[in-house]
Amino acid sequence: MELDKMDENDWKYHGEGNKSLVVSHVQLSRVLRLLKYPAEDSENPPQTVEQAFRQIQNIVDFSSNVMSSLLGDKFVHSGEVVKLPLEFVRQLSIKIQHQRPAWRCDKVMDIYSGCALCLPNLTSPSLHPQTHCPPLCVEIKPKCGFLPSPKHVSKDMKTKVCRYCMHQHYKVANGKWKRRSLYCPLDLFSGNRQRMQFAVRHLIEEPQNNFKVFKGGQCVYSSKEGGDDPPDVNVLLHHLRPYFQTGNNRINGHVTGKAVLNDFIQVLVNVLLSSGGGAGGQVTDRRGEGRSFCQASLLNKERIRHGSQGLPSDSVLFRILQTQMLDTLDIEGLYPLYRQVEQHLQDFPKDRTRLQIDGPYGETFLEKVQKFSTEDDSSVEFAAAKVHQYRIAMTAKDCSLMVALVPSAEEEDDDEDLSSQRRPLRPPAFSSSVSILDLDPKPFDSIPRQLRLDQKIVSCYLRTGGALPKGSLSLLPSIMASAERDDRTLLFHPV
């Protein structure tokens, strides 16, 4: 990629979050991630070129020196900061503006600094065998996979119902989503195949911002925020069916929609339990079995049959969970330590650099976080280290998993020589890779806002008693029922 010969026509809109916008190259497996500003700052950028460069470099350093060490460098792609021609950035901003969701346009793309983060396009693997079907990529935001210790929380409900499940009620009550998701992160992180498959099924049923499917780099299945209608699972089935032509649930030679979904979910769970390319490792004990069950999960009543088995120690979910568990105090237990650091910085503002509140995120930062005393000695160094631990844990709670599935060329060649009646009844073969994205450092100053949000979420859940507000849909459409309706329709087609 020659930076001095950039052409906006070689790039297309890919997606965006709250703080950045992403474009992808139409031929190369590359994406550019650019900063966003509030629309009112569009004529007057809120930071200099040097500050913008440092902000993006901090993201790279935090990812490569901190999160990569904790999560495993085989899972993390940190990227590099690039300086783009300003005219290219301005023309690119004009080109993609009409493709952006209206509700995201309260912020504008940074067209002043020319700084961007260049990363591999994980939705479209560049190195894959030439097969009839393009690669699939599944994006999952797993969220927090454990319950807090009762020692540090003021409401007992927080030790029984996970943050994600409580947050669903708050989001529906505030109109962000029309329906709540029945996905529970504790099921996904359980290591039990039945619970994990149950969790993925509910992610498919109500994806929200937590589940997307890409085919050949194009998003083919996701939710639209605030949309009235749930995503149509038959659209997903249409895209998946060519990849899952073998299966045990055949009707007159036709692989049923239920079998397609089952195989797809089974493949995903197998990858999540693997070591990212090899066989699963040693199964680990969980920290406190009671912290791995959520009362809001529909599987909770079957605790014995669906007991947690723990995650393989070299799996991506285990690494994420261990990093999340650096939050040992919950936001309620952490907030007094944050206030201690904040007060100290008001009295001694130059210590902000010494305590590395805003970085730099090198190896010394990680050493400070990992090697400080576990006993509270009332020092500001201890308080700052606990705040840094919490910020790292929050990044792990908000990361995204990218699971790339490339159909096996050998599998396709073997099947071409067999009639549909003689094909082996087994799930299709894929080569896979797992990556972790969205590993930005959480701002130190965001902790008071996180405490307020936590209080609102718990208060809403206690007020509604775990019930949905009036007018909401209490029963979600069954994804398997939809798949089975699709099967019954197909039975009437001529064979």
At 113 the three-state DSSP class reads coil
Angle at 401 between CA 400 and CA 407, to 5 degrees: 145
Spans of the chain below 50 pLDDT: 249, 251-252, 277-280, 285-287, 304, 411-425, 470-477, 487-495
Handedness of CA 34, 38, 39, 41 (dihedral sign): negative
* Burial (CB count within 10 angstroms: exposed 0-12, middle 13-18, buried 19+), residue 180: buried
Contact (CB, 8 A) for 392 and 67: yes
Q: Which of 277, 212, 138, 200 is nearest to 480 (CA)?
A: 200
Q: For 283, which DSSP code?
A: B
Q: What's the confidence (pLDDT) of residue 409? A: 64
Contact (CB, 8 A) for 402 and 340: no
Task: Tell me the average pLDDT of the chain.
Answer: 84
Q: In the chain, what are the domains?
A: 3-120 (3.30.200.110), 136-325+396-491 (no CATH)
H-run or E-run covering 118: strand 115-120
Q: What's the confidence (pLDDT) of residue 39? A: 83
pTM for the full model? Answer: 0.87
Q: State the pairing for strand pair 400-407/136-140.
A: antiparallel
- Which distant-in-sequence residues (6+ apart) come within 8 Å of 369 by Cβ? 66, 326, 385, 388, 389, 392
* Per-residue tokens: 285: 């004990």
Give tens-digit pLDDT for 223-276: 876 566 778 999 999 999 998 876 554 544 567 888 899 999 999 999 999 875
Give tens-digit pLDDT for 106-147: 899 999 999 999 999 999 876 555 557 889 999 999 999 999
Q: What's the confidence (pLDDT) of residue 473? A: 44
Distance CA 9, CA 23 (A): 11
Q: For 243, which DSSP code?
A: G
At 318 the three-state DSSP class reads helix
- Which distant-in-sequence residues (6+ apart) come within 8 Å of 28 by Cβ? 1, 121, 126
The residue type at 22? V
Count other Cβ atoms within 10 Å, centred on residue 479: 21
